[in-house]
């Protein structure tokens, strides 16, 4: 019997097809284009110092987008997500001093876990309330509590604590990169569990998932609980980055996180997408902000310019689906 020799060309073609069919691939193309545009406006863009500075600024949004991705893939949405981050920064900056950093950070984690995790999860998962209405309500609640704690930006963050954000861990990787890698590792572990598979099943077809024996209410509940971990991690990074608490810091994160995950190929209807898309979507929004700043767009037109670029990115991401619909 003659054994067929492996065809390297066929294997490469298969790999390329898998890459192109990945929901995040259009976002990757947009990301590369935006890197080139950033380099055009900032010729030192690819230096280590600039790249590190940008990633430090983008890290809270990356983590928030990872949280939003879990919820949207499960078939929900969370508009309170940015205000939970604001609550974290205000609460911790208000109580923090030079000697109690760790207990106060734990307090912030607990507040986000109870509010964004258990409260949202209970109402959406167990009581089957609308994610839109529920998270709009808790958004107002978190915003009000944060503003009451710190009516103006400030509080206190020890110098040694926020300087950690600027160090290299083990002399190799910047601290924000390590935080994102930890978050990605958590996501990978979750995706390999039954719960990780159930998130996609519930998001794709809730009735079918229920019929197959999946406890839909538990999956929706746990999706918010897991997302709260990423929100709290984003809160730590935001606190270390700005060295202050601010109830307005998370205002743009709610809509930006939704836009970012959609740009990254995650379907708003649920059940489709991956962590790569969430991260790429966050990086794309960060690069768009850079372009607007270095292009010296007037403050009056910045919102319009950002909106147009996001619409363009969303349109590019929808081209593969449009071509597929034409062929069919």
Please tell me the predicted confidence (pLDDT) of residue 320: 56
Geometric angle at alpha carbon 137, from 142 and 180, rounded to 5°: 50
Mean of pLDDT values over 292-297: 84
| CB 113, CB 228: distance < 8 Å | yes
Amino acid 201: pLDDT: 94
Sign of CA dihedral 182, 186, 191, 192: positive
Position 135 scores a pLDDT of 95
Range of the domain at 187: 48-251
Do the domain assignments include residue 86? yes
Alpha helices by DSSP H, 205-273: 206-211, 216-242, 253-263
pLDDT of residue 24: 82
Is there a domain that residue 296 lies in? no
Which pLDDT does position 54 carry in this prediction?
Answer: 92
Write out pLDDT tens, residues 29-67: 889 999 999 999 988 889 999 999 999 999 999 999 999
Return the pLDDT at 327.
59
User: What per-residue confidence (pLDDT) applies to 100?
Assistant: 94
Task: Output the average pLDDT for the chain.
Answer: 88
Taking phi first (over 0 means left), then psi (-120 to 50 degrees means alpha), and beta for anything else, what does residue 170 get? left
According to the model, what pLDDT value does residue 12 have?
A: 66
Residue 168 DSSP code: E
Per DSSP, 75 falls in state: T
Helix (H, G, I), strand (E, B) or coil at 272: coil
H helix intervals, the chain:
8-21, 25-41, 48-73, 81-95, 101-112, 120-121, 131-149, 159-163, 175-191, 194-204, 206-211, 216-242, 253-263, 275-294, 302-327
- In this prediction, residue 10 carries a pLDDT of 64
Residue 64 lies in a domain: yes
Q: Give residue 328's pLDDT band: very low, low, confident or very high (50, 70, 90).
A: low
Q: How many structural domains does the chain have? A: 1
Q: Would 297 be classed as within a structural domain?
A: no
Which pLDDT tens digit goes with each residue over 212-252?
999 999 999 999 999 999 999 999 999 999 999 999 999 88
Give dist(CA 63, CA 175) in Å, integer. 14
Short-list 155, 135, 227, CA closest to 187 = 227
Confidence of residue 85 (pLDDT cuts 50, 70, 90): very high
Asked, for residue 189, whether it belongs to a domain, the answer is yes
Q: What are phi and psi of 253, to 5 degrees?
A: -70, -30
- Asked whether the beta carbons of 68 and 261 are under 8 A apart, the reply is yes
What integer is the mean pLDDT of 144-152? 95
Residue 199 lies in a domain: yes
Q: Give dist(CA 312, CA 288) in Å, integer.
A: 11
Q: Is there a domain that residue 197 lies in?
A: yes
CA distance 269 to 186: 24
17 burial type by CB count under 10 A (0-12 exposed, 13-18 middle, 19+ buried): exposed
Least confident of 82-86, 130-134, 265-269, 323-327: 323-327
Place of tokens 């979507």: 281
User: Is 56 within 8 Å of 80 (Cβ atoms)?
Assistant: no
CB 289 within 8 A of CB 302: no
**Closest Cα to residue 261, out of 22, 35, 32, 67?**
67
In a domain, 11, yes or no: no
* pTM above threshold 0.85: yes
């Amino acid at each position: 019997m003659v054994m067929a020799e492996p065809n390297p060309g066929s294997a490469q073609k298969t790999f390329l097809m898998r890459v192109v069919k990945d929901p995040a691939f259009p976002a990757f193309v947009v990301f590369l284009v935006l890197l080139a545009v950033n380099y055009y406006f900032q010729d030192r863009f690819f230096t280590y110092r600039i790249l590190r500075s940008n990633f430090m600024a983008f890290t809270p949004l990356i983590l928030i987008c990872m949280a939003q991705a879990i919820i949207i893939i499960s078939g929900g949405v969370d508009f309170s997500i940015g205000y939970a981050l604001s609550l974290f920064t205000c609460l911790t900056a208000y109580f923090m001093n030079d000697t109690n950093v760790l207990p106060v950070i734990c307090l912030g984690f607990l507040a986000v876990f109870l509010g964004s995790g258990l409260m949202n999860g209970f109402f959406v998962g167990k009581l089957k309330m609308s994610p839109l209405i529920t998270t709009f309500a808790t958004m107002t609640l978190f915003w009000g509590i944060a503003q009451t704690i710190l009516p103006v930006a400030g509080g206190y963050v020890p110098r040694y604590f926020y300087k950690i954000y600027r160090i290299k861990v083990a002399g190799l990787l910047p601290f924000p990169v390590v935080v994102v890698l930890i978050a990605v590792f958590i996501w990978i572990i979750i995706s390999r569990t039954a719960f990780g598979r159930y998130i996609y099943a519930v998001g794709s077809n809730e009735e079918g998932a229920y019929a197959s024996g999946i406890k839909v209410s538990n999956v929706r509940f746990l999706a918010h609980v897991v997302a709260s971990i990423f929100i709290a991690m984003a809160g730590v990074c935001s606190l270390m980055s700005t060295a202050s608490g601010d109830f307005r810091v998370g205002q743009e994160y709610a809509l930006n996180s939704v836009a970012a995950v959609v740009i990254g190929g995650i379907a708003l209807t649920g059940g489709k997408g991956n962590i790569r898309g969430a991260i790429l979507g966050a990086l794309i929004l960060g690069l768009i902000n850079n372009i607007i700043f270095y292009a010296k767009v007037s403050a009056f037109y910045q919102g319009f310019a950002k909106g147009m670029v996001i619409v363009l990115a969303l349109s590019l991401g929808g081209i593969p689906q449009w071509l597929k619909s034409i062929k069919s």
